[in-house]
Amino acid sequence: MYLIGFYDWLLMGSIVVIGLIVLTHALGWQRIGLICQCAIILINGTLMMQRFGLDGVMIQLFLGLGLGLVSFFVSLVMTVSSCVWVSFFRNFFGLLFEWRCQFCRLIGPHMIIFYGQQLVTAIWEELLWRVVIQGVLIQWFGQCAIVITACLFWAMHWHLFSKNIWRMADLLLFSIVMGIVFEWTHWVILVFMIHFVRNVGIVGYRLSLNE
């Protein structure tokens, strides 16, 4: 009976910490927010280890690469102005070469820090949101937790996309799909890879436009 009571308190405490993570980020209290993020991962360390598998690493990597590219393409379709696509199809070969030259700047030793940042971000956010937070919320709300987690993840990034409704919709859709993919497979490397490839593509594209 004591163990059940303690487990309930642990879940309720986790819900409170999740709320603090969103609140501190909204208020710009980044250091306190990071402490809360570390706290919920430590509190739910056992849950985290139970929720993912590392089997089929190569399959996860290659599948993640492919799905990450698909996710990046979908993001471009949703967020890039239609006039860009019209211009692209009118001047296909010229723009294709131009885009290739822009992305060539993302290949080389000088980009190690950039790739490292995107990799750390992808791993941390997927561990925190899909593995831990979604795992906690599923115990309270069932499969509805996938949408709830996606909405909270979206809210955390509100300040980045608040002026562009299509980028906001793209992020929310991406979050929901990632939640479904993880709950279906429990392949953590897969979601790491999808998130990483998508981030590299999107950030690289924005940088190439000097945004």
Tell me which residue of 65, 78, 72 sits closest to 99, measured CA to CA: 72
Q: Average pLDDT of 131-145?
A: 90
Q: What is the 3-state secondary structure (H, E, C) of 65-134?
A: HHHHHHHHHHHHHHHCCHHHHHHHHHCHHHHHHHHHHHHHCCCCHHHHHHHHHHHHHHHHHHHHHHHHHH
Tell me which residue of 180, 173, 163, 164 sits closest to 198, measured CA to CA: 173
Alpha-carbon dihedral sign for residues 136, 69, 92, 98:
positive
Structure tokens at 188: 């953590």
Q: Among 47-56, 121-130, 134-143, 184-193, where is mean pLDDT lowest?
A: 47-56
- Confidence (pLDDT) at 19: 86
Q: What is the mean pLDDT of the chain?
A: 81
Predicted confidence band at 75 (pLDDT cuts at 50, 70, 90)?
A: confident
Residue 194 clears pLDDT 60, i.e. is over it: yes
Residue type, 142: G
Predicted confidence band at 207 (pLDDT cuts at 50, 70, 90)?
A: low
- Confidence (pLDDT) at 198: 92
Residue 24 clears pLDDT 90, i.e. is over it: no
What span, in angstroms and rounded, lies between the C-alpha atoms of 21 and 10?
16
- List Cβ neighbours of 142 (8 Å cut-off, separation of 6 or more): none
Whether the CB-CB separation of 168 and 162 falls below 8 Å is answered with: yes
Residue-range domain boundaries for the chain? 1-43, 56-208
Residue 90 clears pLDDT 70, i.e. is over it: no
Structure tokens at 98: 């131009």
- Confidence (pLDDT) at 129: 93
- Confidence (pLDDT) at 2: 43
What span, in angstroms and rounded, lies between the C-alpha atoms of 2 and 25?
35
